[in-house]
Amino acid sequence: MSKKIAVVEDEAELASLIEYNLNRGGFQTRVFGGGVNTFRELEAWQPDLIVLDVMLPGQDGFEICRRIRQGGKLTRTPVIFLTARSDEVDRVLGLEIGGDDYITKPFSPRELLARIKAHLRRSEADTEPKQTNVTMGPFRVDLAARRVFQLKPQGLEKEVELTSTEFKLLEFFLTHVGHAWSREQLLREVWGEQHYVTPRTVDVHIRRLREQIEEKPDEPAFLVTVRGFGYRFEVQ
């Protein structure tokens, strides 16, 4: 699937020049002419990157970018500003506005294309999981190696032997800390569409997992019971 680039630019001629070059570069493009609904329109389309002009009718690029960074689906989407004046640059990249880059008009489409590609590569690298080691109490979980270690006195570590299902269950909880899950939801998420497993299976695996990772399996500190519903994972 080709990446989606939003071009927010009210000058029709410039917008179509950009669009033409981005399409040739293999991107899916949509032009937004500005106006007070721009943020909502962008959020609905969910682009992978936004090229944003500063001077726009109704609402300027600064306001749109500020809104993007305030929260919602586009918070982490790279924004490259198109600026006409060099004195706008400091504001564009400042914390208050939150742009990722800028390009000054007039610019060559090839330069814009190169910047877009660089930012997309960077944002892809950002979404790769960075944290592979999770520590919970006396336990360390290496998600990449799929191993669990228990810290012993004098800094020694002993490996905790988990079955593949127990590890999958633990991994699921660690990536959804604080969220309560019903047995049915856990079956769907961890076991998938294996019809021979029943909600009781979940309880059995939870009990085994507690015996491995809890200091007091009867009074679990991490893998807690949510009465009348299911289970939740807590990290102190």
Residue 106: CA count within 13 A, CB half-sphere: 4
The residue among 55 and 174 lying less far from Ca ion, judged by its C-beta, is 55
Q: Fill in the amino acid letter for 192.
A: G
| Segment contacting Ca ion by CB under 5 A, of 46-54, 132-140, 200-208, 211-219 | 46-54
The residue among 10 and 101 lying less far from Ca ion, judged by its C-beta, is 10
What is the spatial distance between Cα 161 and Cα 74, in angstroms, rounded to a whole number? 41
Binding mask 148-187 for Ca ion (x = CB under 5 A): ----------------------------------------
For residue 47, whether the previous peptide bond is cis, meaning omega lies within 30 degrees of 0, is: no
Q: At what angle do helices 199-213 and 164-174 cross, to 10 degrees?
A: 80
Minimum CB–partner distance for residue 62 and Ca ion (Å): 12
Which tokens sit at 57?
A: 């009718």
The residue among 67 and 232 lying less far from Ca ion, judged by its C-beta, is 67
What is the spatial distance between Cα 81 and Cα 99, in angstroms, rounded to a whole number? 7
Q: By the 8 A CB rule, do 47 and 6 touch? A: yes
The residue among 107 and 172 lying less far from Ca ion, judged by its C-beta, is 107
Exactly one of 4, 10, 16, 225 binds Ca ion (CB under 5 A); which one? Answer: 10
| Segment contacting Ca ion by CB under 5 A, of 47-55, 57-65, 92-100, 154-162 | 47-55
* Residue 182 Cα to chain centre, angstroms: 24
The residue among 56 and 148 lying less far from Ca ion, judged by its C-beta, is 56
Exactly one of 7, 47, 52, 53 binds Ca ion (CB under 5 A); which one? Answer: 53
The residue among 55 and 151 lying less far from Ca ion, judged by its C-beta, is 55
- The CA-based diameter of the chain, rounded to the nearest angstrom, is 70
Residue 174 CB-density burial (10 A; 0-12 exposed, 13-18 middle, 19+ buried): middle
Minimum CB–partner distance for residue 11 and Ca ion (Å): 5
Identify residues 70-99 at the interface with Ca ion (CB under 5 A).
Answer: none
Q: Where do contacts with Ca ion occur on this chain (CB under 5 A)?
A: 10, 53, 55
